Amino acid sequence: MSVISSLPIIDLTPFLTPTSTLSEKQEIAKALYTACHDVGFFYLTGHGVPEELQNEVLEAAREFFMTATQEEKQALERKEIDEGGDGARGWQKLGENITMGSGDWHEALDYYHPPLSDTSSGPPYDIVQGPNPWPEKPPHFRSLYEAYIAGLHTVGHALLRAMSLALSSTEDLFTPHLTSPFWCLRAIGYPPLPATSPGISCGAHTDYGCTTFLLADETRGALEVRDKQGGWIGVDPLKGAYVVNIGDMLEVWTNGLWKSTVHRVVHRGTGFRVSVPFFFEPDWDARVEPLQCCLEKTGGVRKYEAKVYGEHLAGRVKGNFYQGGPGKVLKD
């Protein structure tokens, strides 16, 4: 495995500054195109999210994982639909999230865009359409995370405008599909893998939507990205920057010009690693298909069928928990 400390660095400032010029934006868009095409992963700076807020978000997650009791965690646990949950939101214990047939060695709190259907009459909920369960401790957890999520919406919209300019002469290719962008936020806690375990902290996978903004603590040597030759590249955190990768919907929109890059986490270090990825996604009902400008750049042959984002997400979430299947064996 090779470690590169030099993923491309993209500075989003011109897309968040009303006075910036077209040529300033085009310069960034060009670098962004290369990063998305050649690697699929990059560091994002100039995003405007204060480092202090990022640190508070990481610390609140750490506090929850390290100090909440088993009962407090279970009160927030993810439940299957027939158990009154939505199969997606809430706390997952170690080994509960399945990737490629094995349980991942992490615990997590998963949150999503508020439900699109009315939940006032209670369960049963549709898949991913239940309420978000927030912890009572630390007391500011919910307000902190809601402020953080709001901030990342601004960044998500700006980055998608930059990506649009990278692919075409307009910033608005994706705008019609981002009227109420779906999102997911995971607060993840990774104890080190047991020394003798062949296991994995988070198995190889792609993300499902537009772009992921990964915030992680200072732990090194955990996240790995698959390169075009099939090898693994270690990606260490860069203070204040986000590690950004593209998701499945951008691969479809670009007709495969930009690939949704496979990544995994192998945390064999000593400390307890905390990461908080934010997934910025299309509208739940967005019909995603190769864009004309991308068809032209890829020889005119359509390589992907149209996909409805919400259906894609629901399918992936079901797969993550063997819903209704052998996943129940993993529960206490």
Ligand X SMILES: N=C(N)NCCCC[C@H](N)C(=O)O
Ligand Y SMILES: O=C(O)CCC(=O)C(=O)O
Site membership for ligand Y, residue 156 (CB under 6 A): no
Site membership for ligand Y, residue 248 (CB under 6 A): no
Residue closer to ligand X, measured from CB, 160 or 313: 313
Do 183 and 281 contact (CB within 8 A), yes or no? Answer: yes
Shortest Cβ distance from residue 18 to Fe ion (Å)? Answer: 33
Site membership for ligand X, residue 158 (CB under 6 A): no
Stretch 181-240 residues interacting with Fe ion (CB under 5 A): 207
The interface partner of residue 49, options being ligand X, Fe ion, ligand Y, none and the CB cut-off 5 to 8 Å by kind, is none
- The candidate with the shortest Cα–Cα distance to 220, out of 270, 184, 161, 149, is 270
In the bound state, the residue with its beta carbon closest to Fe ion is 207
Shortest Cβ distance from residue 205 to Fe ion (Å)? Answer: 6
Preceding amide of 133 cis, omega within 30:
no
278 exposed, middle or buried (CB, 10 Å; 0-12, 13-18, 19+)? buried
- The candidate with the shortest Cα–Cα distance to 215, out of 92, 44, 330, 32, is 44
Shortest Cβ distance from residue 63 to ligand Y (Å)? Answer: 18
Site membership for ligand Y, residue 223 (CB under 6 A): yes
Stretch 165-204 residues interacting with ligand Y (CB under 6 A): 186, 188, 202
Stretch 89-108 residues interacting with ligand X (CB under 6 A): 97-99
- The candidate with the shortest Cα–Cα distance to 132, out of 85, 171, 96, is 85
Site membership for ligand Y, residue 265 (CB under 6 A): yes
- Do the bridges between strand 242-246 and strand 41-45 make them parallel or antiparallel, or are there none, so unpaired? antiparallel
Stretch 92-151 residues interacting with Fe ion (CB under 5 A): none
Quote the tokens at residue 324.
């209704």
Cα distances (angstroms) measured from residue 268 to each of 76, 104, 317, 325: 28, 13, 27, 30
Residue closer to ligand Y, measured from CB, 165 or 249: 249
Give the residue, chosen from 205, 263, 312, 318, that forms a contact with ligand X under the rule CB under 6 A: 205
256 exposed, middle or buried (CB, 10 Å; 0-12, 13-18, 19+)? middle
Cα distances (angstroms) measured from residue 256 to each of 130, 247, 248, 267, 302: 33, 11, 10, 30, 9
Residue closer to ligand Y, measured from CB, 76 or 266: 266
Shortest Cβ distance from residue 205 to ligand X (Å)? Answer: 4
**Residues at the contact surface with ligand Y, assessed by CB under 6 A:** 186, 188, 202, 207, 214, 216, 223, 263, 265, 275, 277
